[in-house]
Amino acid sequence: MGCERVARTDPETGVRILQLTSFPITHWHLGLGDFITPDGERLLIAANRFAGRNSPRDLYSIRADGDDFNFLLHDFSGGVICPRVQWVYTGCAGGVVRIPIEGGTAEVLWSPDCYTHIMVSARSSDGLWLFGQGRRKTDGSFDIVRISTETGEASVIVRASYVMPVLRSSANGERLVASIAPVGDDGKPLMPWGVWEFSSEGTDFRLVPFSRSTNHYCPMGSTGLVVTTAAHPGNALDVAAPGGCERVLARGTGFWHVSSDETGTWLASDTNWPDVGLQIVNSHTGKYATLCMTGASGGHPQWTHAHPVISPDARWVLFTSDRTGFQHVYLADIPPEFKKALSAA
C-alpha cells in the first residue's frame, strides 16, 4: 500500500512527530494490549474502510517509521502480535485467525459457533497463549477465553457481564488485568465490578483498590502495579497494587488516558479539561512534562481522544488526533534529554 507518513515538529516542544496515516478516513491504533512488537518497530492500526458511520473496519500493520503499511484483514476484532513478530492474531467472524504480519492469507485458529465476535487483546509473555473476550450470541454476556497459539485449543476462564479488554500484566508470571464484572454460570455476580487482577486460569482474583478511577488504567510494566487516571477533577495519576493500597503517583494536571512502558518507569498520558498536552511521567520521581500537543479535540466521541500508548521500550508515544478533521495515527519521539530531565531527583 505504500506509505502515508507526514513528518512534522511540535511547535512548542520541538519534538518530532510522524503522522503515520493521512488518507482522509478514520484511523486509530488498537489501544492497550499487545499490538506493538517488543522492539517497538511494528504495530497494528485500524481504519474505517470508507467515510461513513456504518463503515466496516479493516486491520493493518505498519512500521514505526511509517513504512510497510500493509493491509491485513477486513472486519477484524482486536489484534495481537506474537513475540517473534511473524504472526498477527485477531478475531474474525466469531473466531480467531492468524495472518502474516506482512499480510497474506488468514488461517483459522479457533472457530467456535457461540460468539458474535472475539476481541483478541493479550498474549502470554512467551506467545503460547492468547486472551480475548467472546461475546455470547445467546445473552450478550462475555467469556474471557484462553487460546493456544500452537493447537487452537481454547477454554473459557472467566464469564462476565461486563469487561474491558483483558491486558497482560508482565509481572508475577502470567496474570491478567481487566475492568470486569465476573459472573457465575447462572449469570449472577460473583464479585462486584472493578479493576481486577487474576491468573491466566481465571482464578485468584485480586481487586485493584482504585477509589476514583476513570476506568482508564493499565498494568505498570513489570512492577506488578496498576496505574489509573483519577476521575475529573482529580487531576492525578493513582497507582495501586492488586490486593494492596492506592497512592497518588503524580498530580497537578488533568490526566486522562494512561499507558506504561515494559519497565513501569515511563508513563504517557494525555490531558483534558483543559488539554495541556501529552505528558510523559517518570514513575520514580513523579515528575512529568509536556511531550507535545496532540491537537485532538477531546470531545465526546472516542475518535476525538488521543489515547496515547507508550512503546514497550519507551522510545516513542503513539496517539490519535482528529486535528485535520479526520482521526489519524501519530507517533511522537521521546528525546533522551527529555527523559534525563524527568529522571533527575
Partner 1 sequence: MAPDMNEISDEQTGARVVRLTPPAGLHYHQYCYGQWIAPDCRTLLVFRYRELRRDSPIDLYRVNTDGKGYEIVAENAGWSTISVDGQFVFAGTAGGILRIPLSGGESDTVFRSDSYRGMSANAQTRDGRFLFCHAFGERGHELVRVQLDTGEAQVLFKTDYLMHLHLHDEGEGRLLATVRPPDLEWGIYTFDLDGGDFRKLPFTRSTNHFASLGCTGKVITTVHGGGNAIEIGTPGGASAEVLVEGEGFWHPTADSTGEWVACDTNWPDTGLMLVHVPTRRYRVLCFTGTSGGHPQWAHAHPRMSPDASYVVFDSDKSGITQTYAVFVPPEFKEELRG
Displacement of CA 316 from its chain's centroid (Å): 15
Q: Which stretch binds partner 1 (CB under 8 A): 3-11, 78-86, 167-175, 332-340?
A: 3-11
192 binds partner 1 (CB under 8 A): no
190 binds partner 1 (CB under 8 A): no
Question: Among residues 234, 244, 245, 243, which one has the least CA distance to residue 258?
Answer: 234
49 binds partner 1 (CB under 8 A): yes
| Shortest Å distance, C-beta 341 to partner 1 | 27
| Shortest Å distance, C-beta 57 to partner 1 | 12
Q: Which stretch binds partner 1 (CB under 8 A): 23-31, 120-128, 203-211, 274-282?
A: 23-31
Question: Among residues 129, 132, 134, which one has the least CA distance to residue 149?
Answer: 129
114 binds partner 1 (CB under 8 A): no
| Shortest Å distance, C-beta 92 to partner 1 | 20
- CA dist., res. 58 & res. 53, Å (int): 14
Q: Which stretch binds partner 1 (CB under 8 A): 5-13, 92-100, 120-128, 245-253?
A: 5-13
Among 12, 23, 114, 243, binds partner 1 (CB under 8 A): 23
301 binds partner 1 (CB under 8 A): no
Given a contact cutoff of 8 angstroms between Cβ atoms, the answer to whether 219 and 260 are in contact is: yes
Among 66, 134, 182, 308, binds partner 1 (CB under 8 A): 66
**Residue 127 amino acid letter:** G
| Shortest Å distance, C-beta 104 to partner 1 | 18
Q: By three-state DSSP, how is residue 101 classified? A: coil
Given a contact cutoff of 8 angstroms between Cβ atoms, the answer to whether 321 and 294 are in contact is: yes
| Shortest Å distance, C-beta 70 to partner 1 | 13
Q: How many residues bind partner 1 (CB under 8 A)?
A: 20
| Shortest Å distance, C-beta 2 to partner 1 | 8
Given a contact cutoff of 8 angstroms between Cβ atoms, the answer to whether 61 and 55 are in contact is: no
Characterize the bridge pairing of strands 95-100 and 87-92. antiparallel
Q: By three-state DSSP, how is residue 339 classified? A: helix
336 binds partner 1 (CB under 8 A): no
Nearer to partner 1, 269 or 327 (CB): 327
Given a contact cutoff of 8 angstroms between Cβ atoms, the answer to whether 149 and 127 are in contact is: yes
- CA dist., res. 156 & res. 322, Å (int): 38
- CA dist., res. 335 & res. 213, Å (int): 30
Among 12, 50, 173, 343, binds partner 1 (CB under 8 A): 50
Nearer to partner 1, 11 or 184 (CB): 11
Q: What is the per-residue DSSP string for 236-256?
A: EEEEE-TTS-EEEEEESS-EE
Q: Which residues form the interface with partner 1 (CB under 8 A)?
A: 1-8, 19, 22-25, 49-51, 66, 324-326
